């Protein structure tokens, strides 16, 4: 108790020393690349005491003192100008400046996602849609084909741009494009290059110039304290108050006569007033501390919270928006609508401030260092693909942990895939099941080789495949995922992970081989075969289950018979069922090296059946 009391008595001394440094020029306006930087923006090179609280400000990055960067989620935008009078920021996508020379492919990698309530697209901005590596030709009248965008292994595919920005998710899915990016530009710039009907279409260089011209964002933080301060001739700032847990941000208005807590020209000013406040506040803290010790008011933090906080600080540029528990209760209306329940906890429907529907996954109180929570935040934040669910935010407050996803109105694949009644509203056609199988395969291929850091999911199953309004599949639940280096093949894991029935043999026994992305391939194959078996309305699989024979083994021996029975002698449907079964059997080979990659899986599903051979008859029963 004596050392703790001494520490508390030293607090006033530390704060008074901080006050001595809090002169008006300590948080003065900064400059970078010719731009004046002040509220609501601040430079990442600012002193720790002179930044603004999250939620009402944004940090800018000064790169080599020649380029000002605005980070939005995990992407970078170059700041071209800031107009503080009209609250307007002109920015351009950094991908254009970084990677592609004049005349080359205008290649973008990320859709704009704004997750703050005070920053939004200005009315002067307009959309242009880029579609890259499309397997089918786009016949829309407004589509302009781009040149030089093919990848080395993708030479036959084509890339397009839609200047009018209009395409539905179903259309993009139909054209089988590898990536769809909606870019923002100034509407006036776009109209300047899109000529009258009959004129030649614009080339790559024109679109690149329009993208370099940027687009405008408006902002309004609704911070009346800063408005009053700057209106009185001062400038707004915040100082970190380290006497509070987590370093609470304390508002300060910097004036010529010294800093104040309101606005220039009113209230107590100068160091005397600050010193008096510091001493009074410290005495109050000491009193509260002793009362808390006496009556047991001190809350206990979970053991895992410090390590999670440390992880989030180190990866601050990766994770999405952080919400408070109060925010979560507000967006779910105090958890009024429950969507589902699992071993991890419950999922509730909610709405963000901009009206978007979300699914809020409330995690149960957990012990340990919160590995699953950190896995999910770090893994999914690195992804951007039409077949991977989008993580919009998270909550970490004491023992309260929540993950906030885009809302999937059709729930999970588990709800539809295993319903053999064709007349049921929860039944899907063979064609729709096949599309879901291909979409899931494309999402897994992206995770294994397409995103910045390779990701192995380790829990592929119908429950974790979500369906949007068009039944487009999206891989979810990255709690067991593992991040890998790009050239890394084998993965080290501590103990088996996954769901019984979908776990690859090598995950629970090293005698089968090394754990790698092929473990996801096995889980995918089991899921596809389960979709095929459960969908058979003639209940062929039910008769197999009543016997002692392993269903995949039975499928191997009765492939033609089953395909005809399941498809009711429909030629096209028979082809789809055959492809799903053969691909599934390849994927569940016992030895990992005998399984195809997800790239090969996609090729087999998209190709014909004439050259699709059955795998060796080596299955794990």
Query: Do 514 and 372 reside in the same domain of the chain?
Result: no
Is residue 476 located within the same domain as residue 595? yes
d(C-alpha 377, C-alpha 371), whole Å: 10
DSSP letter string, 530-571: HHHHHH-TT-HHHHHHHSSS-HHHHHHHTHHHHHHHHHTS-H
Q: Is residue 24 part of a domain?
A: no
C-alpha 411/C-alpha 425 separation (Å) is 13
Q: Indicate the number of domains in the chain.
A: 3
- Using pLDDT thresholds of 50, 70 and 90, give the confidence band for residue 59: confident
CA–CA gap between residue 266 and residue 260 (Å, rounded): 8
The per-residue pLDDT for range 218-234, each reduced to its tens digit, is: 987 667 787 788 778 77
Q: What are phi and psi of 209, to 5 degrees?
A: -65, -40
Residues 415 and 313 reside in one and the same domain = no
Per-residue pLDDT reduced to its tens digit, 127-143: 888 888 888 888 787 88
361 is in an annotated binding site: yes
Among 196, 219, 242, give the residue marking a domain's end. 219
Q: What is the pLDDT averaged over residues 66-79?
A: 88
In a shared domain, residues 85 and 208 = yes
Pair 450, 564 in one domain: yes
pLDDT of the residue at 25: 46
Give yes or no: residues 390 and 416 share one domain.
no
- Parallel, antiparallel, or unpaired for β 58-63 and 41-43? parallel
Q: Looking at the annotation, which residues are catalytic?
A: 459
CATH of the domain at 443: 1.10.510.10
pTM of the full structure? 0.52
The pLDDT of residue 2: 47
Does 13 have pLDDT greater than 50? yes
* Domain boundary pick from 381, 406, 431: 406
Report the pLDDT averaged over residues 500-524. Answer: 89
Strand, coil or helix: what is 347? strand
Q: Are residues 418 and 380 in the same domain?
A: no
- Which tens digits make up the pLDDT trace of 378-434? 777 778 889 999 888 889 888 888 999 999 999 999 888 766 555 566 678 889 999
Residue 194 CA, chain-centre distance (Å), reads: 33
Let me know whether 343 and 213 are in one domain.
Answer: no
Taking only the tens place, the pLDDT of each residue in 75-101 is 889 999 999 888 899 999 988 876 554
pLDDT score of 492 more than 50: yes
The pLDDT score that the predictor gives to residue 584 is 94
Domain boundary among 195, 219, 243: 219
Supply the CATH number for residue 359's domain. Answer: 3.30.200.20
Decide if 116 is inside a domain: yes
- Whether 547 shows a pLDDT value over 50: the answer reads no
Note whether 371 and 470 are same-domain residues.
no
Distant-in-sequence contacts of 609-613, Cβ < 8 A, 24+ apart: 609/575, 609/578, 609/579, 609/582, 612/578, 612/579, 612/582, 612/583, 613/582
Helices (H), 167-269: 169-174, 187-193, 204-212, 224-231
pLDDT at 18 over 70: no
For the stretch 232-252, pLDDT in tens is: 877 777 766 666 555 566 778
Domain extent at residue 215 = 66-219
Domain assignment present for residue 399? The answer is yes
pLDDT tens per residue, range 323-356: 999 999 999 999 999 988 876 788 999 999 888 9
Residues 74, 208 within the same domain: yes
DSSP state of 602: H
């Amino acid at each position: 108790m004596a050392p703790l009391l001494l520490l508390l008595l030293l607090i006033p001394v530390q704060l008074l020393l901080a006050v001595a440094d809090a002169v008006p020029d300590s948080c003065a306006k900064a400059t970078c690349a010719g731009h004046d930087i002040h509220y609501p923006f601040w430079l990442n090179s600012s002193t720790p005491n002179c930044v603004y609280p999250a939620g009402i400000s944004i940090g800018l990055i000064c790169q080599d003192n020649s380029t000002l960067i605005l980070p939005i989620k995990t992407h970078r935008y170059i700041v071209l100008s800031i107009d503080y009078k009209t609250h307007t920021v002109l920015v351009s996508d950094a991908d254009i400046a970084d990677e592609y020379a004049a005349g080359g492919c205008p290649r973008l990698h990320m859709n704009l996602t704004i997750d703050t309530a005070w920053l939004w697209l200005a009315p002067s901005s307009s959309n242009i849609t880029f579609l890259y590596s499309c397997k089918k030709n786009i016949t829309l009248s407004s589509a302009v084909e781009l040149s030089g965008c093919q990848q080395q292994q993708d030479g036959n595919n084509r890339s397009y741009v839609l200047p009018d920005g209009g395409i539905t998710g179903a259309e993009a899915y139909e054209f089988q494009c590898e990536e769809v990016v909606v870019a923002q530009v100034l509407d006036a710039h776009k109209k300047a290059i899109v000529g009258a009907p009959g004129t030649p279409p614009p080339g790559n260089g024109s679109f690149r110039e329009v993208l370099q011209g940027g687009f405008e964002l408006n902002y309004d933080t609704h911070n009346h304290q800063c408005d009053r301060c700057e209106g009185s001739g001062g400038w707004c700032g915040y100082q970190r108050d380290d006497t509070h847990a987590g370093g609470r941000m304390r508002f300060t208005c910097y004036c010529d006569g010294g800093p104040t807590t309101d606005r220039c020209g009113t209230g107590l000013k100068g160091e005397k007033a600050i010193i008096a406040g510091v001493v009074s506040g410290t005495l109050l803290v000491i009193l509260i501390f002793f009362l808390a010790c006496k009556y047991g008011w001190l809350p206990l933090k979970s053991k895992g919270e410090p390590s999670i906080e440390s992880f989030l600080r180190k990866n601050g540029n990766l994770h999405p928006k952080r919400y408070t528990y109060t925010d979560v209760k507000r967006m779910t209306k105090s958890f009024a609508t429950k969507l589902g329940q699992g071993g991890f906890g419950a999922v509730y429907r909610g709405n963000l401030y901009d009206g978007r529907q979300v699914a809020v996954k409330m995690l149960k109180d957990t012990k340990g260092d919160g590995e699953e929570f950190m896995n999910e935040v770090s893994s999914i934040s690195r992804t951007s693909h039409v077949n991977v669910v989008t993580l919009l935010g998270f909550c970490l407050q004491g023992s309260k942990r929540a993950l906030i996803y885009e809302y999937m109105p059709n729930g999970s694949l588990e709800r539809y895939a295993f319903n053999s009644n064709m007349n049921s509203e929860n039944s899907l056609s063979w064609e729709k099941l096949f599309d879901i199988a291909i979409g899931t395969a494309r999402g897994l291929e992206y995770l294994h080789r397409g995103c910045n850091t390779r990701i192995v999911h380790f829990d592929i199953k119908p429950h974790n495949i979500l369906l949007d309004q068009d039944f487009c599949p999206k891989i979810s639940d990255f709690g067991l995922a593992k991040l890998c280096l790009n050239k890394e093949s084998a993965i080290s894991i501590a103990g088996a992970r996954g769901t019984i029935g979908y776990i690859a043999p090598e995950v629970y026994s090293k005698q089968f081989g090394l754990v790698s992305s092929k473990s996801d391939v096995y889980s995918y194959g089991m899921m596809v075969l389960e979709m095929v078996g459960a969908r058979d309305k003639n209940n062929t699989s039910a008769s197999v289950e009543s016997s002692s024979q392993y269903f995949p083994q039975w499928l191997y021996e009765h492939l033609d018979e089953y395909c005809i029975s399941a498809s009711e002698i429909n030629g096209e449907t028979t082809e789809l069922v055959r492809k799903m079964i053969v691909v599934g059997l390849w994927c569940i080979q016992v030895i990992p090296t005998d399984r195809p990659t997800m790239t090969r899986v996609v090729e087999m599903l998209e190709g014909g059946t004439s050259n699709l051979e059955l795998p060796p008859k080596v299955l794990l029963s």
